[in-house]
């Protein structure tokens, strides 16, 4: 029996950019691209769900609670998740997601008795809320085109269907609703440009509808403006509380749009809150306050303005660009390039802290997109346009820009300095890869005594756009450009001022490269360089051959067969030298030399949000892998945390161990390359095990012949490979 190589999955996401909401029993349920959460308005607590907890749809676009208190979540990809609060479990409905329709977004959900009515981009479906079976699907309403987008449905004896092209109403007595003739369609409102119908509800015994041109009553085939103040405004939603109606609407201002909340009482505008950010719902709260889901979080408002934006703790955005873990176990991540950048994030395993120009004035930019942790505890973040940032273990921040360094930005603007990669050599000197140096000094070094030196690529010519850097055990710098299928190397031989003895060159197709774009460079624990390309992985060994500076002695280049034809985006080396490889198809785990495929994970067999894995990082000490994806940060634990220095922390779990339950006994606290013996109480050897080189090993409760051992007390004897260091542990086994 093999243990799962990846386990204990978690997803951390920003849930402030909301896209759906529903209010039920003091809980406001909200949905976003980062998952869902409920907010309890009585005690201000959050409960969050992501794919790691069973939620499958993304982004969430609609929410409703049925008569059995189950919560339904519709999504942009057509998936419907049904959450049972009593059992804490999810069930999913995949029929719409797998329908083959080009557009299958779930636009709204409505409960009518034991039926959940689903409005989609192609029609209306009716689902039994108990069995989750489909009753029927309607895609053609009168003269409207087949598969017209449906925004909302209301059922008050008859069906009222709010579509992009008209309001479809079930004809009295019509029973075969698949027949287009069973529907009367109203597409025009006199005096208004033909509107899109966004929702339809009942208010004070009258049918009301929100449209792209206002809020109307509907009766006897006629539309009547409800209040004149909504004319030519987009009325997006309505919350009806007894005799009051609260609507959210969008209106134009010079250069853009704004949003407002109108309270309607006694058929007239009673109050309004205007000039709001984008909202799409409103829930009145005791004390004259309002909750409004928005693109900036769950807003708390009083009668005139926003008081607070509520969201669970998380990263500043669902974009991760560069992941690194410092010596204290903190994860750091950049957030992107150009104007998309949101600063950088720090995660200590429990709490996220977000740094940006608004809350951290020393930052010259928000566009940090790569990260590196040095052995001295410092963290470095490379930016798109403003140099790089150093973060000391104390938290002290120091920007390095063209104003306080000799680094030169692009030729067109020397102050626009893009740092695409940072690494330290064996002596602690910091090397900086300049993406597009106007002075052609691509490689730069800041020595441990704070002296700067810069070097050109002798083979670069007019080449710009250098993207990735790695430094081997001989302090040779290996770097690549996305514009040329070559791997450059440079070694200054430890003499920064004397360039006469420097060694430089490049590996090309004639050297064994596959002629593809190089996306990543990773040095493994054997000193081999793993090169990720658009068509697989190349392993370059004997790197010291380049220091001989001859044409006859060259590094050896081999191909990883199990990763052929894959676009390689990122490679992470774990403590036992296995490789976790991020591709456009998912994550591959291969053994140390790449000859064996150990495991594969994608969005269909794991909590990965998508198959594309573009950026990865690792916590070597605890054996965790981090994956940055659009929608959140995905993390999991592995069976290979870094080994301990001694056996002082040796322990095993679960205790007592019960093999019949199907789990494994984990032996933790091992040193590197431990050998393990299982002995019975008489001292007879039951089983011999070996760790893969990391901190843990596993036992399935069987002896050397494959039989489960009897109930009793057993000893675990752990030693190093030479038998010089020995420790023992007593365990109990219950059959």
Q: What digits encode the pLDDT tens for the residues 426-457?
A: 999 999 999 999 999 999 999 999 999 999 99
Other C-beta atoms lying within 10 Å of the C-beta of residue 247: 28
Question: Is the CB of residue 227 less than 8 Å from the CB of residue 215?
Answer: yes
For 505, the 3-state DSSP assignment is: strand
DSSP letters of 542-560?
A: -GGGGGG--SS---EEEE-
- In degrees to the nearest 10, what's the CA dihedral of 514, 520, 523, 526? -40
Closest CA to 640 of 570, 573, 731: 573
pLDDT value at residue 693: 66
Say how far apart CA 193 and CA 189 lie, in whole Å: 7
Question: What's the rounded Cα separation, in Å, for the pair 242 and 227?
Answer: 18
What's the pLDDT at 2?
40
180 three-class SS: helix
Write out pLDDT tens, residues 358-393: 999 999 999 999 999 999 999 999 999 999 999 999
Environment class of residue 389 by beta-carbon count within 10 Å: exposed (0-12), middle (13-18) or buried (19+)?
buried
Query: d(Cα 651, Cα 431) in Å, to the nearest integer?
Result: 41
Strand 115-120, strand 106-112: pairing? antiparallel
- Residue 231 half-sphere exposure, CB side, CA atoms within 13 Å? 8
User: Can 17-187 and 651-733 be said to share one CATH topology?
Assistant: no
Mean per-residue pLDDT of the chain: 93
Q: Which of 291, 245, 352 lies closest to 38 in space, CA to CA? A: 291
pTM: 0.85
CATH of domain 17-187: 2.130.10.10
Pairing relationship of beta strands 183-186 and 158-163 according to DSSP bridges:
unpaired
State how far the Cα of 468 lies from the Cα of 346, in Å rounded to an integer.
Answer: 23
DSSP conformation class of 155: E
Confidence at residue 552, expressed as pLDDT on a 0 to 100 scale: 75
Report domain extents, the chain. 17-187, 523-537+556-642, 651-733
| 417-424 and 379-385 strand pairing | antiparallel
Q: Hunting for tokens 């059959």 — which residue is that?
A: 735
CATH 2.60.40.4070 fits 651-733, yes or no: yes
Tokens 């190349």 belong to 538
β strands within 362-451, DSSP E: 368-373, 379-385, 388-391, 397-400, 417-424, 430-434, 443-446
**How many whole angstroms from its chain centre is CA 486?**
32
Q: Point out the residues of the chain with pLDDT beneath 70.
A: 1-3, 692-693
């Amino acid at each position: 029996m093999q243990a799962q190589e990846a386990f204990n999955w978690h997803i951390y996401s920003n849930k402030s950019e909301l896209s759906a909401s529903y209010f039920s029993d003091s809980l406001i349920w909200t949905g976003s691209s980062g998952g869902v959460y409920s907010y309890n308005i009585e005690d201000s607590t959050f409960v969050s769900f992501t794919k790691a907890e069973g939620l499958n749809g993304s982004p969430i676009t609609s929410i409703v609670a049925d008569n059995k208190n189950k919560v339904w979540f519709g999504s942009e990809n057509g998936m419907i998740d049904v959450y049972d609060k009593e059992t804490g479990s999810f069930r999913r409905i995949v029929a719409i997601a797998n329908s083959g329709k080009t557009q299958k977004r779930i636009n709204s959900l409505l409960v009518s008795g034991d039926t959940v009515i689903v409005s989609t981009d192609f029609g209306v479906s009716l689902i039994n809320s108990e069995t989750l079976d489909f009753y029927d699907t309607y895609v053609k309403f009168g003269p409207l085109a087949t598969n017209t987008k449906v925004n909302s449905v209301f059922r008050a004896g008859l069906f009222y269907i709010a579509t992009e092209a008209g309001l479809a109403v079930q004809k009295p007595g019509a029973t075969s609703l698949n027949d287009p003739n069973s529907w009367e369609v109203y597409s025009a409102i006199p005096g208004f440009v033909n509107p899109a119908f966004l929702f339809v509800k009942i208010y004070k015994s009258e049918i009301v509808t929100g449209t792209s041109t206002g809020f109307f009553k509907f009766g006897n085939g006629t539309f009547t403006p409800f209040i004149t103040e909504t004319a030519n405004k987009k009325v997006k939603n309505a919350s009806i509380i007894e005799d009051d109606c609260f609507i959210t609407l969008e209106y134009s201002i010079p250069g853009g749009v704004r949003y407002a909340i109108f309270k309607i009482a006694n058929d007239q505008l009673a109050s309004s809150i205007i000039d709001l950010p984008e909202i799409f719902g409103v829930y009145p709260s005791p004390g004259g306050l309002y909750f409004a889901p928005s693109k900036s979080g769950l807003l708390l408002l009083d009668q005139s303005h926003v008081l607070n934006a509520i969201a669970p703790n998380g990263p500043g955005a669902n974009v991760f660009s560069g992941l690194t873990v410092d010596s204290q176990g903190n994860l750091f991540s950049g957030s992107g390039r150009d104007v998309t950048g949101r600063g950088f994030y720090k995660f200590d395993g429990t709490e996220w802290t977000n740094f940006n120009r608004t809350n951290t004035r020393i930052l010259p930019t928000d566009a940090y997109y790569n990260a590196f942790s040095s052995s001295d505890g410092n963290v470095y973040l490379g930016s798109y346009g403003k140099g790089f940032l150093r973060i000391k273990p104390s938290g002290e921040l120091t920007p390095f820009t063209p104003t306080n360094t000799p680094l030169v930005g692009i030729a067109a603007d020397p102050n626009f300095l893009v740092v695409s990669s940072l690494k330290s050599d064996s002596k602690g000197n910091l090397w900086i890869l300049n993406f597009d140096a106007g002075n052609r000094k691509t490689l730069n070094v800041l020595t441990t005594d704070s002296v700067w030196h810069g070097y050109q690529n002798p083979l670069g010519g007019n080449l710009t756009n250098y993207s990735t850097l790695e430094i081997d055990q001989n302090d040779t710098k290996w770097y690549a450009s996305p514009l040329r299928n070559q791997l450059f190397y440079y070694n200054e031989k430890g003499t920064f001022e004397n360039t006469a003895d420097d060694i430089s060159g490049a590996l090309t197709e004639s050297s064994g490269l596959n002629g593809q774009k190089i996306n990543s460079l990773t040095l493994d624990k054997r000193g081999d360089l793993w090169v990720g390309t658009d068509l697989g992985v190349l392993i370059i060994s004997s790197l010291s051959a380049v220091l001989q500076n001859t044409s006859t002695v060259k590094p050896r280049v081999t191909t990883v067969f199990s990763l052929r034809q894959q676009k390689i985006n990122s490679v992470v080396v774990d403590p036992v030298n296995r490789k976790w490889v991020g591709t456009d198809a998912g994550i591959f785990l291969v053994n140390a030399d790449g000859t064996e495929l150990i495991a594969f994970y994608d969005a269909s067999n794991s909590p990965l949000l998508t198959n594309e894995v573009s950026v990865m990082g690792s916590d070597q000490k605890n054996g965790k892998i981090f994956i940055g994806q659009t929608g959140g940060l995905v993390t999991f634990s592995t069976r290979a945390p870094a080994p301990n220095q001694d056996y002082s922390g040796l322990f095993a779990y679960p205790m007592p161990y019960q093999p019949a339950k199907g789990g494994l006994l984990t032996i933790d606290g091992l040193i590197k390359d431990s050998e393990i013996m299982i002995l019975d109480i008489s001292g007879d050897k039951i089983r011999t095990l070996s760790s893969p080189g990391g901190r843990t090993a596993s036992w399935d409760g069987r002896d050397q012949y494959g039989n489960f051992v009897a109930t009793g007390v057993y000893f675990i004897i752990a030693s190093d490979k030479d038998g010089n260091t020995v420790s023992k542990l007593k365990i109990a086994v219950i059959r």
